[in-house]
Structure 1
Amino acid sequence: MFDLAEIIDIPPFSLDRQKKGELFTRALSDLTQYHQQNCHEYNQILQLLGGSKNSFSSIEDIPFIPVRLFKEYELLSVDQAEVIKTMTSSGTTGQSVSKIFLDKYTSTNQTKVLTKLVSSFTGKKRLPMLVIDTKAVLKDRNLFSARGAGILGFSMLGYDVTYALDERMELDWEQINAFIQKHKNEQILLFGFTFMIWEHFYKPLQSKGLQLPFENSILIHGGGWKKLIDEAVDNETYKKRIFEVTGIERIFNYYGMVEQTGSIFMECESGYLHSSIFSDVIIRDYKDFRSLGFGEQGLIQLVSLLPQSYPGHSILTEDIGELLGEDNCSCGRLGKYFKVHGRIKNAEIRGCSDTYAEGKK
């Protein structure tokens, strides 16, 4: 059985296509066989798809399951007694939510990998951290929402973690000003979800004509873009506007989902999302699900080496994406890089930012 310890100390964007392909084909073959043996529902799915092989010639051959299945079934590959944490996806009222069951091994690996990925952008030194959210979202430590899980996961990358919003989702000026004075002239790490930063941080600052002194700092944000696209705000506009009220130039978006927590795809300095040695991306044709080449748009399939307590190692999302290249990004990182173009038509809204925005209506 593949053990993540084999690669945990390797720099996360350092394997070329051949080396990564060999690693992933072996590791994902092991995971597929493991989940088939330990998850009854997953085994049934593979049997309906024509059975399962013990090994595969490439990662494109690894069977995938629709991400929506996690809303319909409780998929576990470990005994319920081993589950230490249950994470739920974001969902508006009336929507079903995904339930992801984590044992200690999987949860620990998620934390290790998230730390390695983000620190490769922010540096190994932990930074004072300002979370653009309310602490009230962290209510049940055993049943995490995607939003709460994201905040707690990223919070491990900083220290003196301070929340910029109060329980009414308004700027907590007392906390913010005290944080700024305490860490004057230091580099700060800011984290939040895309729409919420825009709605509850950028807009109040912009309306008051204020700029916070974060010129030397880093902002990491992720989540749905649907509401911002509706407001004609794209990634470049977002960065420009945030810069106007904070002076932050290093702004990184990330793509990920609760079904594969930890193995996120970070946006590089050139504006592209990158796979790492812990994850990969395949673009599938809408009609026959064949894998597509560079420059073709289709459904995003995500593969990850992290899920062991549940069969989430190869999932077909409801997002539309496009591969742009591999091993040749101008940022210097190896691996595939890509863009996300949105959701398939009639798909449920998902993503912490979109769900929150939808819930406000």
Structure 2
Amino acid sequence: MQESIFNIQNEENFTRVALEVFRHQFKNNKVYRSFCDLLYVHPSDVTKVEQIPFLPIQFFKIKKVLSSLDEVKETFTSSGTTGSIASKHFVTDIKFYKESYLKAFAHFYGDIEDYVVLALLPNYLERNGSSLVFMVDDLIVKSKNPESGFYLNNIDELANKLISLDKKGQKILLIGVSFALLDLIEKHQFNLNNTIVMETGGMKGRRKELIRNELHQLLQEGFKVDEIHSEYGMTELLSQAYSKGKGVFETPSWMRILTRDTEDALSILPTGKAGGINVIDLANYNSCSFIATQDLGKVHQNKSFEIIGRFDNSDIRGCNLMVL
């Protein structure tokens, strides 16, 4: 199945594999099956992806969302806010995750060995179970460059290395959380020509939340780069979408974004209409590939998408099935 998922070539191909994954998860995932049963949806009635039920993402906080009886090899957890319940993504086959992020990175950015990877992810490094740290750690290893590495509180050392390597013409991926990247440009001046600056979102209570345009403008000016790249991922997904600028994200071929009506969670909106973000992530073969997130966004005609906000926690309509 792994081969089918990661070698999707066209829309027809995607639909066929997605329906196959849906049937597998309906049969093998007790939580998802109960959810589908409550909606009176059976695979025999589903002929297109828009008819597949999307499991509210909150189920990852309260249930063990698994489509496999194999032993759990990794458990990824969300950071969450103080006092909130963390999401848990139980992974029985880590090969799905590795193939997903390595293939996606190669597709969007080329050979990882061309880059020095500098990671500024302090709040993720300070806890266990981060899927982002797992991915970036592997990218650092796969870069095969001794200059690659994580930075926690040593941002002066990072700044010096970044300036020095960029001047030498070395391609660099600087990946960091928003607040840490802002800390970096407040302390140091940059004029980068060979560096991709990629923010992974999140102030995590360390700073005032900024809208994307404000944040990107500050970072563009601070690093003297034309565009700020972004990564869209989450604990509950084993795939990432990437933006090379202006907050417009593209997905790898095994991932799709749909939008749902904010008043009727079971209604999928036409392309171009803003609504709740539903994600199809076929790399989630052993958990659940069809997830209704708490993000708000819009999908464009070419399947790229934008994130325009989040639901208020009290505002997730259509989730009264959470009593499962």
Range class of TM-score, shorter chain: 0.7 to 0.9
1:131 equivalent among 119, 130, 155: 119
Which residue in the other structure is 1:267 paired with? 243
Aligned twin of 1:341? 308
Q: Is the 8 A contact 1:321 1:339 kept in 2?
A: yes
Partner of residue 221 from structure 1, selected from 199, 202, 205: 199
1:43 aligns with 2:33: yes
In structure 2, what is the Cα distance between the partners aligned to 1:7 and 1:29? 12
TM-score in terms of structure 1 length: 0.76
Q: Is the 8 A contact 1:220 1:252 kept in 2?
A: yes
Distance 2:121 2:289 in 1: 30
- The CA distance in 2 between the partners of 1:219 and 1:201, in whole Å, is 12
Return the offset for 1:150: 4.8
Separation (CA, whole Å) in 2 of partners of 1:92 and 1:271: 24
Q: Which runs of 5+ in 1 are unaligned?
A: 327-335, 349-361
Q: Could you say which residue in structure 2 is the equivalent of 1:103?
A: 92
Between the aligned partners of 2:289 and 2:281, the Cα distance in structure 1 is: 5
Q: Of 69, 72, 92, which aligns to 2:62?
A: 72
Q: Counterpart of 1:320?
A: 296
Partner of 1:352: none
Distance in 2, Cα, partners of 1:231 & 1:33: 40
1:333 maps to what in 2? Answer: none
Q: Comparing both structures, which one devotes a greater share of its residues to strand?
A: 1
Q: Which amino acid aligns with 1:204?
A: K
Shift of 1:69: 0.8
- Note if 1:56 corresponds to 2:23: no
Q: Shift of the alpha carbon at 1:68? A: 0.5
Residues 227 and 154 from structure 1, CA distance in 2 versus in 1: closer, same or farther, beyond 3 angstroms? farther
Using the alignment, how far apart are the partners of 1:135 and 1:71 within structure 2? 20
Q: Could you tell me whether the CA contact under 8 Å between 1:300 and 1:319 is conserved in 2? A: yes
The answer to whether structure 1 residue 308 and structure 2 residue 250 are counterparts is: no
CA shift, 1:338, in A, is 1.5
Distance 1:202 1:102 in 2: 37
2:175 to 191, 194, 200: 191
The answer on 1:203 being equivalent to 2:191 is: no
Range that drifts further, 298-307 or 283-292: 283-292
Q: How far apart, in 2, do the equivalents of 1:265 and 1:46 lie?
A: 27
Q: CA deviation at 1:188?
A: 1.2
Inter-partner Cα distance in structure 2 for 1:133 and 1:269: 20
Kindly tell me: are residues 258 and 214 of structure 1, through their superposed partners in 2, closer, same or farther at Cα, counting changes over 3 Å?
same
1:254 match: 231
Change (3 A) 1:82 1:53: same
Number of residues paired by the alignment? 310
* Paired AA for residue 4 in structure 1: Q
- Deviations, residues 299-341 of structure 1 (Å, cap 9, x unaligned): 111001111221x200111111112222xxxxxxxxx012111
Q: CA deviation at 1:7?
A: 5.6
Gaps of 5+ in 2: 316-324
The whole-number CA distance in structure 2 between the counterparts of 1:186 and 1:120 is: 20
Q: 3-state SS of the aligned residue for 1:82?
A: coil
CA–CA separation in structure 2 for the residues paired with 1:120 and 1:59: 24
2:24 to 31, 34, 38: 34
Alignment of 1:122-161 (within 5 A): 122-126=109-113, 127-134=115-122, 137=125, 140=128, 144-152=129-137, 154-156=139-141, 158=143, 159-160=145-146, 161=148
In 1, Cα distance between equivalents of 2:161 and 2:229: 25
SS in structure 1 of the partner of residue 220 of structure 2: helix
Aligned-residue offset at 1:151: 3.4
- 1:100 shift after superposition: 0.7
Please list the CA deviations of residues 226-277 of structure 1 after superposition, one character each: whole Å capped at 9, or x if unmatched. Answer: 9799555533x4334323333333531122211112x212114564112331
Asked if the contact 1:133–1:196 (Cα under 8 Å) also holds between the matched residues in 2, the reply is yes
CA contact (8 A) 1:186 1:216 kept: yes
SS of alignment partner, residue 215 of structure 2:
helix
Q: Is the 8 A contact 1:77 1:309 kept in 2?
A: yes
User: In 2, distance between residues paired with 1:187 and 1:53?
Assistant: 47
Pick closer, same or farther for the CA change 1:193–1:154 going to 2, 3 Å: farther
Structure 2 residue identity aligned to 1:91: G
Q: Which residue of 2 aligns with 1:119?
A: 106
- In 2: Cα distance, 1:65 partner to 1:285 partner: 15
Q: Distance in 1 between matches of 2:251 and 2:228?
A: 18
TM-score normalised by length of structure 2: 0.83
Match of 2:150 among 158, 163, 167: 163
Q: Distance in 2 between matches of 1:280 and 1:93?
A: 31
Task: Give the fraction of aligned pairs with identical amino acids, expressed as a percent.
Answer: 25
Cα separation, partners in 2 of 1:283 and 1:255, compared to 1, 3 Å? same
